Chains A and B, each alone.
Chain A
Amino acid sequence: MMKRLLASAALLAAVSLAGAVNAADPVSNYSADPQQSHLEFVGVQAGANFTGAFHKFTAAVEFAPDALASSHFDVQIDLNSEDSMDKDRDTTIRGPDIFDVAHWPTAHYVTRSFTKTAAGYAAVGALTLRGVTKDVPIEFQFTQAAAGAKLVGSAKLKRLDFGAGQGDWKSTEWVADAVKINFSLVLKPKT
Chain B
Amino acid sequence: MLRLGVTGLERTAGGQHQSQSTYTYTFEHEQGPAVLLNYAAVQFARGASSMPNQSSPTRYSAVAQTFHWLIAALVVNQFVLGLWADSLPNGIHRLALLARHKSFGMTVLVLAILRLLWRLKNAPPELPSDMTPLGRLLARTTHIAFYVLLFTMPITGWLMSSAKNYSVSWFGLFTWPNLIGKNETAFNVLRSTHHLLSDVLFAIAVLHILAALKHHFWNKDDVLLRMLPFTKSGKRS
> What residues of chain A have their CB less than 8 Å away from a CB belonging to chain B?
45-50, 84-86, 88-89, 91-92, 168-169, 171, 173-175
Smallest CB separation, A91 vs chain B (Å): 7
Inter-subunit contact A86/B175 (CB<8 Å):
no
Residues of A within 8 A of B172 (CB): 46-47
How many residue pairs link A and B with beta carbons under 8 A? The number is: 51
Q: Map CB proximity to A onto B39-73 as digits: 1 under 8 Å, 0 otherwise.
A: 00000000000000000000000000000000000
Residues of B within 8 A of A175 (CB): 92, 95
Instruction: Indicate which residue in A47, A50, A168, A174 contacts B165 across the interface (CB closer than 8 Å).
Output: A50
- Chain B: residues with Cβ within 8 Å of the partner, total of 21
Contacts A86-B182, A88-B90, A91-B90; A45 near B95 (Cβ below 8 A): yes
Contacts A46-B172, A47-B175, A174-B99; A86 near B91 (Cβ below 8 A): no
Rounded to whole angstroms, the CA-CA distance of A89 and B165 in the bound complex is 10
- Other than the known A50-B165, A169-B92, what 15 A-B pairs have Cβ atoms closer than 8 Å? A45-B95, A47-B99, A47-B171, A47-B172, A48-B166, A48-B167, A48-B175, A49-B175, A86-B164, A89-B166, A92-B91, A168-B92, A173-B96, A174-B99, A175-B92
Q: Indicate whether B26 reaches chain A with its CB closer than 8 angstroms.
A: no
Q: Indicate whether B142 reaches chain A with its CB closer than 8 angstroms.
A: no
Name the residue of chain A whose CB is nearest to the CB of B165: A85
Inter-subunit contact B182/A85 (CB<8 Å):
yes
Residues of B within 8 A of A92 (CB): 90-91
Inter-subunit contact A174/B90 (CB<8 Å):
no
Q: Indicate whether B37 reaches chain A with its CB closer than 8 angstroms.
A: no
Residues of B within 8 A of A85 (CB): 165, 182
Q: Indicate whether B169 reaches chain A with its CB closer than 8 angstroms.
A: yes
Inter-subunit contact A86/B166 (CB<8 Å):
yes
> What residues of chain B have their CB less than 8 Å away from a CB belonging to chain A?
90-93, 95-96, 98-99, 102, 164-173, 175, 182
Contacts A86-B166, A86-B182; A47 near B173 (Cβ below 8 A): yes
Residues of A within 8 A of B173 (CB): 47
Smallest CB separation, B230 vs chain A (Å): 37
Residues of B within 8 A of A91 (CB): 90
8 contacts between A and B (CB under 8 A): A47-B99, A47-B170, A48-B168, A48-B169, A50-B165, A168-B92, A169-B92, A174-B96
Among B92, B165, B170, max chain A CB count under 10 A is at B92
Residues of B within 8 A of A46 (CB): 95-96, 98-99, 102, 166, 169, 172
Rounded to whole angstroms, the CA-CA distance of A93 and B182 in the bound complex is 18
Rounded to whole angstroms, the CA-CA distance of A45 and B90 in the bound complex is 14
Rounded to whole angstroms, the CA-CA distance of A33 and B164 in the bound complex is 30
Smallest CB separation, A142 vs chain B (Å): 32
Residues of B within 8 A of A47 (CB): 99, 169-173, 175
Residues of A within 8 A of B171 (CB): 47
Rounded to whole angstroms, the CA-CA distance of A100 and B95 in the bound complex is 20
Rounded to whole angstroms, the CA-CA distance of A47 and B99 in the bound complex is 8
Among B170, B171, B172, B182, max chain A CB count under 10 A is at B172
Name the residue of chain A whose CB is nearest to the CB of B175: A48
Inter-subunit contact B167/A49 (CB<8 Å):
yes
